[in-house]
């Protein structure tokens, strides 16, 4: 069943109804919590904080299981609290051992363990901005907790917004927090849209590098290996988003993310392939003018933007050399070959729990692909089959959303077992 609310544009997005609402400025230095600190975005954020100590101070660093990585970062940034949310890699809970490890590298703060401990730390008064760089749906609780606590949420964890958009909007309303996108395309859109009426946009474009398989046919993709999918031409990212970039599911999730943030109808949120990854976003206004956001492909740029807004901090990231001839190429995406993008539009338009199900099925399928239980093309096949069921009911709270997510994962697991078993569906 199509949710009519999703077809209306009047209700606006998370960032504002008529115009983008300005988030409050942060104190100097602003207290920062980095969640997913040991990941690709988390480590880049740590470098941003180290370069801008006058403006930012790490208060909380959190990771799931990489004790060595957390210890190294905690020693460098000296946050008040280091949090490990899950059992250490390959081990069971021995907080004393983790504590000893952190101390041995020179960390002087406190260790907290478990997910609840992390959520509690987010409401500390001296935390002003929460960078959620956890990967996957498991980031949803932190997204909601940060907003309920009234913090600025620098959002990299797009999956939480895709899956739980309505709940995120409610937490934002009730907690009085604010959202700044870290995803480079959305940070670019944000900059193009600042001050303009959202109703005067003709269309917004998210650019897409096309990933490592741009120009390939379905036939070419039958024997793609995880290693091939993991070698992205322009961005160096964690494994899940790298595979998502190869299938174009990442762009599909970003289309839903843009719908949630800016409130535009899906017919006006478009994707354009741009292999150089220099133009990140384009807004085409009704009067025929277009504004674009350009920056070298470097996530430290949007991370600094989301933490430091509205300031433009001087940074080490190179600016574009405008004297050299820029070769900027654009082309339409091939949604026949890269089915995940079309499936994401479909799930977004249907609304209800469909975006949550799309995300859950994709997480299961990507994991199976990386473990060589499913072929590359099998990822879209699994997502498509799971979406065939009726997922129209709107989850009204987190428990219901988690329930839908778990059910969708179970259905996706069955589909993986069935189609992944076929010889041609397995990765070679
Ligand atoms: P990654 O796999 O490199 O890192 C993931 C981090 O999340 C790790 O620190 C891990 O410990 C932590 N984590 C995982 N599950 C957790 C849990 N349940 N609780 C607490 N911590 C948990 O991933 P990444 O590439 O840094 O991506 C992180 C997020 O940012 C994703 O949502 C991704 O889509 C988004 N993003 C990434 C990039 C990029 O360039 N890497 C760009 C745009 C958006
Ligand atoms: Mg992006």
**Per-residue model confidence as pLDDT tens digits over 84-111:** 998 877 777 788 889 999 999 999 999 9
Q: Ligand 2 center to residue 130 CA distance, Å?
A: 19
**Per-residue model confidence as pLDDT tens digits over 256-283:** 999 999 999 999 999 999 999 999 999 9
pTM reported for the whole predicted model? 0.96
| Cα separation, 376 vs 241, whole angstroms | 14
* Ligand 1 atom nearest to CA at 65: 11
Q: Ligand 2 center to residue 321 CA distance, Å?
A: 23
Does residue 183 have its Cβ closer than 6 Å to ligand 1? Answer: yes
Does residue 235 have its Cβ closer than 6 Å to ligand 1? Answer: yes
Does residue 40 have its Cβ closer than 6 Å to ligand 1? Answer: yes
Residue 332, pLDDT above cutoff 90: yes
User: What is the percent of the chain with per-residue pLDDT over 70, rounded to a whole number?
Assistant: 95
Does residue 257 have its Cβ closer than 6 Å to ligand 1? Answer: no
In this prediction, residue 248 carries a pLDDT of: 98
Does residue 340 have its Cβ closer than 6 Å to ligand 1? Answer: no
With beta carbons less than 8 A apart as the criterion, state whether 156 and 132 touch.
Answer: yes
Residue 426, pLDDT above cutoff 60: no
| Cα separation, 149 vs 125, whole angstroms | 9
Residue 343, pLDDT above cutoff 60: yes
In this prediction, residue 421 carries a pLDDT of: 62
Ligand 1 pocket test, pick from 82, 133, 158, 234 with the greatest ligand atom count within 8 Å of Cβ, gives 133
In this prediction, residue 428 carries a pLDDT of: 41
| Cα separation, 149 vs 122, whole angstroms | 7
Residue closest by Cα to atom 19 of ligand 1: 64
In this prediction, residue 314 carries a pLDDT of: 87
Residue 300, pLDDT above cutoff 60: yes
Residue closest by Cα to atom 5 of ligand 1: 39
In this prediction, residue 274 carries a pLDDT of: 97
In this prediction, residue 322 carries a pLDDT of: 87
Residue 9, pLDDT above cutoff 70: no
In this prediction, residue 223 carries a pLDDT of: 92
Q: Ligand 2 center to residue 129 CA distance, Å?
A: 20
**Per-residue model confidence as pLDDT tens digits over 195-250:** 999 999 999 999 999 999 999 999 999 999 999 999 978 778 999 999 999 999 99
Mean per-residue pLDDT of the chain: 93
């Amino acid at each position: 069943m199509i949710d009519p609310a999703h077809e209306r544009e009047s209700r606006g997005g998370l960032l504002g109804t008529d115009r983008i609402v300005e988030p409050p400025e942060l104190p100097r230095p602003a207290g920062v919590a980095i969640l997913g600190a040991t990941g690709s975005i988390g480590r880049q954020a740590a470098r941003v904080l180290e370069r801008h100590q006058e403006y930012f101070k790490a208060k909380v660093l959190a990771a799931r299981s990489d004790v060595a990585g957390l210890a190294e970062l905690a020693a460098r940034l000296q946050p008040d609290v280091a949090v490990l949310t899950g059992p250490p890699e390959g081990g069971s809970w021995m907080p004393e051992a983790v504590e000893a490890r952190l101390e041995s590298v020179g960390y002087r703060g406190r260790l907290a363990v478990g997910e609840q401990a992390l959520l509690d730390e987010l409401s500390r008064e001296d935390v002003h901005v929460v960078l959620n760089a956890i990967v996957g749906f498991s980031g949803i609780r932190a997204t909601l907790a940060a907003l309920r606590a009234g913090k600025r949420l620098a959002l990299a964890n797009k999956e939480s917004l895709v899956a739980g958009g309505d709940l995120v909007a409610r937490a934002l309303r009730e907690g009085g927090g604010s959202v700044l996108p870290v995803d480079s395309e959305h940070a670019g859109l944000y900059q193009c849209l600042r001050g303009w009426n959202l109703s005067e946009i003709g269309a917004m474009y998210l650019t897409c590098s096309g990933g490592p398989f741009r120009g390939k046919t379905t036939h070419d993709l039958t024997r793609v290996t995880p290693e091939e999918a993991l070698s992205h031409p322009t961005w160096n990212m964690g494994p899940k988003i790298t595979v998502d970039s190869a299938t174009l599911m990442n762009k599909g999730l970003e289309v839903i993310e843009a719908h949630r943030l800016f409130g535009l109808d899906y017919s006006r949120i478009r994707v354009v392939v741009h292999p150089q990854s220099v133009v990140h976003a384009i807004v085409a206004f009704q009067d025929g003018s277009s504004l674009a956001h350009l920056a070298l492909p470097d996530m430290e740029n949007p991370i600094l933007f989301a933490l430091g807004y509205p300031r433009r901090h001087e940074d080490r990231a190179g600016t574009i050399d405008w004297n050299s001839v820029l070769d900027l190429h654009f082309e339409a995406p091939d949604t026949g070959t890269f089915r995940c993008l079309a499936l994401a539009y479909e799930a977004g338009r249907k609304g209800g729990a469909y975006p949550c199900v799309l995300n859950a099925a994709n997480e299961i399928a990507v994991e199976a692909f990386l473990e060589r239980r499913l072929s590359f093309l099998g990822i879209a096949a699994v997502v498509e089959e799971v979406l065939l069921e009726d997922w129209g009911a709107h989850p009204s709270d987190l428990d219901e959303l988690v329930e839908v997510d778990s059910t969708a994962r179970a259905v996706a697991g069955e589909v993986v077992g069935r189609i992944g078993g076929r010889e041609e569906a397995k990765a070679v």
